[in-house]
Copies of this chain bind each other. A is one copy, B any other.
């Protein structure tokens, strides 16, 4: 086994472990305020809605990778919990735009703050690496991303 092969396997292994950890972390429910807990699925929806204000039900489904029906049901649950609001679209009478409520925004901000705290910690720990080294790492990761994109095309489209 060549050195290169070994180092690439090393990177792959790191990625696998990072993904495993991510999945475990994102499986947890989140406490918002005193009485409200947000399930992992709800948290994903809130994040998608926070980053895409006013999307309709259909698009939310695409963003979350679920059916239109699942998206509709999820929104219903979030409305009942007071985290989002439905507003009739201004351009037509069939689409419905979803917006975070005040509480929904709070939940979103909490989640973002969690990620930001994590990011700051990272920044500190990576201070020993040069900008070039980090940028190169990003480029290497982009190669992984590209290869995965092609795999996905094979798997889905055809």
Which residues of A does B touch, CB under 8 Å?
A: 3-5, 7-12, 14-15, 17-19, 21-25, 27-28, 65, 118-119, 121-123, 125-127, 129, 131, 133-138, 140-152, 155
Cβ contacts A to B, 18 pairs, < 8 Å: A3-B131, A4-B131, A5-B123, A10-B138, A11-B141, A14-B141, A14-B144, A19-B19, A24-B65, A24-B152, A25-B148, A118-B151, A122-B144, A122-B147, A125-B146, A129-B136, A129-B140, A133-B136
Looking across the interface, which residue of chain B has its beta carbon closest to that of A123?
Answer: B8
Task: Give the most central of A118, A123, A134, A140: most B CB within 10 Å.
Answer: A140
Cβ–Cβ < 8 Å partners of A126 in chain B: 4, 8, 140, 143
The listed residue with most B CB atoms (<10 A of its CB), out of A12, A133, A134, is A134
Identify the 7 closest CB pairs spanning chains A and B, nearest first: A14-B141, A137-B137, A21-B148, A7-B134, A10-B138, A137-B140, A11-B138
How distant is A25 from chain B, measured CB to nearest CB, in Å?
Answer: 6
Which of B4, B9, B15, B118 lies in contact with A18, CB distance below 8 A? B15
Alpha-carbon gap, A126 to B145, bound state (A)? 12
Interface of A is mostly: helix
Which residues of B lie under 8 Å from residue A121 when comparing CB positions? 147, 150
Assembly CA distance A74 to B121 (angstroms): 39
Chain B residues, Cβ within 8 Å of A136:
129, 133, 136-137
